[in-house]
Structure 1
């Protein structure tokens, strides 16, 4: 995949498969009923929002803006 924009246009099931196959899991956090997992994928980050109540993926959110990493900075180790 050459860009985050190519990733964005994939159907959500293909996005999830792509993350599982090529992404590096960094960490997860809890926010209400959501488990939010952070991955690094070929030059960008992706959050997977998993709804624990109904056992579904609520959102797959790719980003490059480092300010979106702020909720993770207290706990993340990027060694």
Structure 2
């Protein structure tokens, strides 16, 4: 089954709407962060949007950062705030990397 999803995103320069096709996400139950980052980009996003829980977002310069919890690790997406292009996907368990999000997690 394929589902078309429309995302509504508020950025520093206004609002944007983007859509993408969701295919079958992977089951993150026994996945490690390194295994997640080796997945194709579309499968990473599909898995996050269907299986992950968004925890926070933050802005830094020209970038928007979104933090997700995916089972027993975290995933951070870095977008360009002006073009909505995805630049980086990071998966980690190290809680020290959550420090920039602490003001938003309270």
TM-score (norm: length of structure 1):
0.89
- 2:69 is aligned to 40
The unaligned stretches of length 5 or more in structure 2 are: 1-27
- RMSD in angstroms over aligned alpha carbons? 1.1
Q: Which runs of 5+ in 1 are unaligned?
A: none
Identify the residue that residue 21 of structure 1 maps to in structure 2: 50
Q: What secondary structure, in the 3-state scheme, does the structure 1 residue paired with 2:82 have?
A: coil
Structure with the bigger percentage of strand? 2
**Segments of 4+ in structure 1 off by > 2 A?**
none
**Structure ranking higher on relative contact order (CA contacts 8 Å, 6+ apart):** 1
Spell out the pairing of 1:46-57 with structure 2 (5 A cutoff).
Answer: 46-57=75-86
Return the index of the structure with the highest Cα Rg.
2
Aligned residues: 77
Structure 2: distance between partners of 1:75 and 1:9: 29
